[in-house]
Chain A
Amino acid sequence: QVQLVESGGGVVQPGGSLRLSCAASGFSFSSYGMHWVRQAPGKGLEWVAFIRHDGTNKYYADSVKGRFTISRDSSKNTLYLQMNSLRSEDTAVYYCAKEVIGYHAFDPWGQGTLVTVSS
């Protein structure tokens, strides 16, 4: 079945960098666009970034534009999120999610990885 497994979270100081990974299995990874969505502790969901199935186009929320970069490696069936210039407000659980082709929805989601930005 479809499985998404995030990794790479941890504690980082303000201004630091971190790279998250999302290992995909159970579907044709290169055929689907992929999203990152985050959830600050005790807060709601926030869409972060989307990459098209072939990696040609990438889109970002205003809150992370210029600091975060989404990418993918179809040879490894893996999605990435490079996060630079991290701020305390970036502290959150980061989920990767697969697009529903032809529809603007996210399904399924990974289990998430926690990023804590703190000195």
Chain B
Amino acid sequence: QSALTQPASVSGSPGQSITISCTGTSSDVGGYDYVSWYQQHAGIAPKLMIYDVIKRPSGVSSRFSGSKSGSTASLTISGLQAEDEAAYYCCSYAGSFTWVFGGGTKLTVL
């Protein structure tokens, strides 16, 4: 149950697009199409942004999109806005009703 690998930080200017990667193994990200992404503003509970790699819950902006290739999943945020500044965590199902999170990525909107 090793944590998935995410970059510690990414940054972008308003209006730009950024992509956050999430690398696992064939036992988690590479083995299942069950990657989810969570946004966490400072001091607040995480919020589901993407599930099943590419699906967006109702109410989540279409500026957020997900993808996966092999054992690496990605979250892309287009048209960056100041309110997007937060930490983002990926999570993958790892089999046998266990889940593993990434270490988190701090997004800074310049």
A103, B101: Cα distance in complex, Å: 16
Q: Which of chain A's residues 50-98 have a Cβ closer than 8 Å to chain B?
A: 50, 57, 59, 61-63, 95
Interface residue tally of chain B, by bracket? 20 to 34
Chain B interface: which of A11-19, A22-30, A104-112?
A: A104-112
Contacts of A59 on B, CB cut-off 8 Å? 96-98
B18 touches A (CB below 8 Å)? no
A103 touches B34 (CB 8 A): yes
A103 touches B52 (CB 8 A): yes
* Chain A interface residues (CB < 8 Å from chain B): 35, 37, 44-47, 50, 57, 59, 61-63, 95, 100, 103-112
Contacts of A37 on B, CB cut-off 8 Å? 101
A47, B100: Cα distance in complex, Å: 6
Contacts of B45 on A, CB cut-off 8 Å? 95, 108-112
- Measured CB to CB, the nearest residue on chain B to A102 is B52
A47 touches B57 (CB 8 A): no
Contacts of A112 on B, CB cut-off 8 Å? 45
